[in-house]
A and B are shown apart, each in its own frame.
Chain A
Amino acid sequence: MKTQIKKDSKGQIGETLTWIVATLIIIVILIVFIFGASLLGKTKVVGNFRESLTSGKSIEEIDPFLRKSFFTLFSLNSIEQKDVLEKKMLSLYEKGVFEEDYNITRMEIVLNYNKR
């Protein structure tokens, strides 16, 4: 009878320990997730959308400053001035002043000019 009671109490202690450890694991996991969520929250920047969320129609990558410069370039009459300006624009592009791709924008504007 005595040995039976001893065995039962041992089992109860073991089971209680299991629950305590499980609770601790749950709390630790929650703390890790809360910390991760707050870290992720600090990295929120407007404009960083996944490609799958944005279609080409919703966000157009346009650098109006590069386009303005191209309008200036194509409206010049002097070829010499055109050459100098294009060189200067290219150097600005290499410095990273313009955000859009130089050649694609150039082609796009040339096509639009020809249409007119």
Chain B
Amino acid sequence: MVYKKGEKLISVYWFTILVIVAVGIVLMVNSYYGNSYDVREVEAEILSEKVANCIYFGGKVHPLLLTPQGVFREDFRDNFMERCSLNFDVQSEFTPIPYYVGVQFLTFEDSRTFFKFSVGNNNYKSDCEIKLGGSEKLAKCVEKEFYMKTSSEKIYLVKILSIVGKTNENTN
């Protein structure tokens, strides 16, 4: 009789341990896979690559960027989004645009800004100047540079600054 009671107690104990271990494993998996991936930097890189390919691809400048005389066209600046097939639209009307793209054309000789334009949310630009540890809640900035040559043999340094906000979607 006494032994039977002890056996019952032991089996309840083992069952409790089993439940504790199972809950622990569930918590472990949940805490690892529950954390979201931060893809903002990759997204910003893809965005800058897309813009770069639109401006200069295969050694040729976008046909609507320059006039035959080699002058930058103002209408390219105005219709940049359509020209480069970009769409920053967000689902909700009151949600701020989570992207920013700024393009600068600098002269080859004296690195002077010759032509520039930007689209998207300007407010994120200040986030790029803050370089602190643990700045996950700030927008991610990626700056890329390359040299391009126009048909009139002029060289420009093209600087593309792309910023992705989306902090809520990419951080915990």
Residues of A in contact with B (beta carbons under 8 Å apart): 19, 23, 26-27, 30, 33-34, 37-38, 40-42, 44-47, 64-66, 68-69, 71-73, 75-78, 81, 84-85, 88-89, 92, 97
Assuming A34-B31, A38-B31, A46-B42, is B13 touching A92 (CB within 8 A)? no
Q: Which residue of A has the minimal Cβ distance to B156?
A: A72
Q: Please report the C-alpha to C-alpha distance between residue A23 and residue B147 in the assembled complex, in whole angstroms.
A: 66
Residue contact B24 to A68, C-beta cutoff 8 Å: no
Q: CA separation between A38 and B146, bound complex, in Å?
A: 40
Contacts of A78 in B (CB 8 A): 153
Interface size class on chain B is 20 to 34
CB pair A64–B32 under 8 Å, yes or no, is: no
Contact partners of B112 in chain A: CB under 8 A: none
Q: A27-B20, A44-B35 are in contact. Are A71 and B172 (CB under 8 A)?
A: no
A41 to chain B, nearest CB (A): 4
Interface residues of B in 42-61 (CB under 8 A from A): 42, 49, 52-53, 56, 58-59
Seen from chain B, the residues whose Cβ lies within 8 Å of a Cβ on chain A are 13, 17, 20-21, 24, 27-29, 31-35, 37-39, 42, 49, 52-53, 56, 58-59, 108, 144-149, 153, 155, 157, 172
Contact A89 to B147, CB < 8 A, known contacts A42-B172, A64-B53: yes
Contact: B27 with A76, CB < 8 Å?
A: no
Taking CB atoms, residues of chain A closer than 8 Å to B153 are 76-78
- Closest B residue by C-beta to A45: B38
Shortest distance from the beta carbon of A77 to any chain B beta carbon, whole Å: 7
| Contact, CB under 8 Å: B31 / A72 | no
A42 to B35, CA, bound (A): 6
Q: Is the CB of A30 within 8 A of B144?
A: no
Chain A's nearest CB lies how many Å from the CB of B107?
12
Contact status A73-B32, CB under 8 Å: no
